[in-house]
């Protein structure tokens, strides 16, 4: 996700490549980032942080403890904006490490890699309207941005953060259904992907409620209602609701 942001921020000329610095423990990864994007990359996180106006924490929640000493080393020497995309890590945890810094918690999703992501942001106690605008500008480089209260961030994680995984499973299942009905695998997959993409774009473009679209394509005694009957028999709605709730609960557990 960090690389997706770097790529888009540079390509959209929001930041110059030489203005971006990354800390990474892998020498191979640092070399790749330098050669691919022309940015600074080094293994000394403290040095990277000391020169930063905006700090993006893009690590797994379990790895956060390894960079806490680096943040604490510079916390009293400057006042940077801290952005975190760590799942389940509350603002209070971040603010305890850098108590004088404005902090914003964010949750993007994987379509950000092609500029089609959805990011939710939640401001901390010291974050101002200017800080929120900076965060919105940064994450708008990889898609749409919405502001939510922090108590909804785990729900965001369960829905849009984990959602691409659910959609991928549905697309795979649709393609398998096409194969079962006699279509070649490549054709079935192409049909499934474009059907999901086109339906999402139609709903977004027209601002139509999904139920309205479903009713429009469901004629009496037709093929669509026959398929939907099977989906309802299989419990697709309750399964998806339960998936979002389970992912939300897991995000909460990561932050505890």
Domains and CATH numbers, the chain: 2-154 (3.40.50.720), 163-254 (1.10.3730.10)
d(CA 230, CA 174): 13
Q: Find how far residue 1's CA is from the centre of its chain.
A: 8
Q: What is the pLDDT of residue 51?
A: 82
Q: What is the pLDDT of residue 28?
A: 95
Average confidence score pLDDT of the chain: 94
> What is each CA distance from 126 to 105, 118, 136, in whole angstroms?
12, 24, 16
pLDDT confidence band for 252 (50 / 70 / 90): confident
pLDDT confidence band for 124 (50 / 70 / 90): very high
d(CA 42, CA 40): 7
Encode pLDDT of 40-94 as tens digits.
999 988 989 988 999 999 998 888 999 999 999 999 988 999 999 998 899 999 9
Long-range contact set of residues 6-15: C-beta below 8 Å, sequence gap at least 24:
6/33, 6/37, 6/39, 7/37, 8/112, 8/115, 8/141, 8/142, 9/138, 9/141, 10/37, 10/38, 10/39, 12/141, 14/137, 14/138, 14/141
Which one, of 142, 76, 132, lies nearest residue 103 by Cα?
132
Q: What is the pLDDT of residue 113?
A: 86
Which residues are registered as beta bridge partners of 57?
84
pLDDT confidence band for 255 (50 / 70 / 90): confident
pLDDT confidence band for 161 (50 / 70 / 90): very high
d(CA 89, CA 80): 19
User: Phi and psi for 54 in degrees, rounded to 5?
Assistant: -125, 130
Res. 256: pLDDT tops 80: no
Q: What is the DSSP letter of 217?
A: T
Q: What is the pLDDT of residue 81?
A: 97
Res. 234: pLDDT tops 90: yes
């Amino acid at each position: 996700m960090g690389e997706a942001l770097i790529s888009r921020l540079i390509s959209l000329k929001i930041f110059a490549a030489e203005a971006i610095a990354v800390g990474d423990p892998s020498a191979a990864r640092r070399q790749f980032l330098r050669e691919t994007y022309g940015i600074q990359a080094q293994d000394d996180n403290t040095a990277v942080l000391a020169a930063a106006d905006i700090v993006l924490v893009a690590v797994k929640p379990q790895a956060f403890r390894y960079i806490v000493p680096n943040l604490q080393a510079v916390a009293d020497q400057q006042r940077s904006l801290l952005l975190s995309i760590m799942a389940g890590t509350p603002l209070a945890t971040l603010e305890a490490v850098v108590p004088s810094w404005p902090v914003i918690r964010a949750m993007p999703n994987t379509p950000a890699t092609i500029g089609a992501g959805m990011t939710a942001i939640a401001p901390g106690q010291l974050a101002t309207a200017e800080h929120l605008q900076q965060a919105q500008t940064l994450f708008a480089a990889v898609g749409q941005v919405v502001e939510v209260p922090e108590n909804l961030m785990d729900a965001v994680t369960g829905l849009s953060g984990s959602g691409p995984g659910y959609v991928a499973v549905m697309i795979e299942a649709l393609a398998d259904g096409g194969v079962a009905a006699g279509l070649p695998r490549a054709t079935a997959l192409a049909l499934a992907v474009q059907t999901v993409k086109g339906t999402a774009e139609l709903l977004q473009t027209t601002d139509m409620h999904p139920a309205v679209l479903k009713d429009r394509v469901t004629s009496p005694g037709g093929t669509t209602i026959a398929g939907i009957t099977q989906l309802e028999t299989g419990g697709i709605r309750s399964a998806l609701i339960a998936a979002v709730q389970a992912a939300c609960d897991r995000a909460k557990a990561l932050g505890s």
